Structure formats: C-alpha cells, structure tokens
C-alpha cells in the first residue's frame, strides 16, 4: 500500500474570486464528517480540519484519507468541485 503525503486545502473562495457563503461553511463541513463522542461532544475527524489562511476560511484534508476512506475523500473533494471552490495541494 502506497501512503499518500501532503494536504489538500479547500479555500472559501470561488474560482472567480468571490467569497464563499455562508461564512461558517468550513465549520459545517467538518462537523458533517464528525462523529458523536462521549457526553454528546463532537469528535472531529483527525484528517479533516479547519484553518484560516490569509483571512480565508479553509478545510484541510490529509491526503492519506484518499486511501483510508475513499468515499469520505470523494465527498469532500466533490463539495469543492460542485461549489467551484479554489483548491490547493501541498
């Protein structure tokens, strides 16, 4: 099994330069792929995180997710594609 390295950053900016709405989209997306934890707390996926880059909300996907959970990886990358969001690979 070959392990992927790097990250995929989905930016909250469309390819034509508009800010993606709603403003809490990154939190909603990471919460959508989270699991319930003890005492009703949310357990975020360890390979899907939020960050702010140059004032833009982003979702960061660890590239290894593609092999570990292809359906989740496809869900996240399709979200970016369907919403015409900028994507950066590192």
Q: Mind listing the pLDDT tens digit of every residue in the chain (90 residues)?
A: 444 569 999 999 999 999 999 999 999 999 999 999 899 899 999 999 999 999 999 999 999 999 999 999 999 999 999 999 999 999
pLDDT at 2: 45
Instruction: Give the pTM.
Output: 0.90
CB 51 within 8 A of CB 29: no
């Amino acid at each position: 099994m070959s392990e992927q390295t790097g990250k995929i950053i989905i930016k909250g900016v469309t390819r034509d330069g508009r800010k993606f709405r709603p403003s809490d989209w990154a939190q909603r997306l990471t919460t959508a792929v989270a699991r319930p934890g003890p005492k009703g707390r949310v357990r975020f996926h360890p390979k899907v995180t939020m960050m702010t880059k140059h004032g833009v909300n982003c979702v960061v996907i660890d590239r290894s997710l593609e092999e570990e959970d292809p359906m989740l990886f496809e869900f996240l990358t399709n979200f970016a594609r369907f919403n015409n969001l900028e994507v950066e690979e590192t």
